[in-house]
Amino acid sequence: MFVITGPSGVGKGTLIRGLMERIPALELSISATTRAPRPGERDGVDYYFMSSAEFERRLAADGFVEYAAYAGRRYGTPQDELQRRLQAGVPVVLEIEVQGARQVRASMPDSVQVFIAPPSLEALRARLIGRGTDDGEEVERRLAVAEEELGARSEFSYVVVNDRLEDALEELVGIVSSRLD
């Protein structure tokens, strides 16, 4: 199992898409969330969208490998889906927040944990603004969280700095490939 984490806007999703294209045997774990779907997102494909009550019910039943609160919403990795894939021998990629990565590390210490870092906070600010998905206040809130998360990078076995996308992707592919052999 491969855990990919890092601050919002650092390019985790883009790197993971490239990783999955280059190593087709990998499968991306689908997270559950209490947030509403964004335009074009589909339940069971992008996320499992659920009510807060359903999320809490599953949480109480130990139904998540990890879970986190982020931006006022809950996110989690469903236990049953992940175990089904791992038992079938499928290498799984989790794209999760730092606090979730810590939970996975505690319960599944053999997971390969990769932290994706920006080249600088200013570069991250430019990326967040360039995405155009958040207003100025949200960008500043995400940057404050990112500063805290960047302090955790030394906890991870691997750190990939996403300065040039192709270089970062090559490094990530190398890490994953070496652990699959």
**Distance from C-alpha of 88 to C-alpha of 61, rounded to nearest angstrom:** 23
The pLDDT of residue 177: 97
Query: Side chain identity at 30, as an amino acid letter?
Result: I
Contact 103, 76 (CB under 8 A): no
Q: What confidence score (pLDDT) does residue 55 get?
A: 97
Task: Tell me what pLDDT residue 132 has.
Answer: 65
pLDDT of residue 136: 77
For the entire predicted model, the pTM comes to 0.87
Residues whose CB falls within 8 Å of the CB of residue 101, separated by 6 or more in sequence, listed in order: 3, 5, 66, 94, 113, 115, 156
- Pick out the chain residues at pLDDT < 70: 132, 134
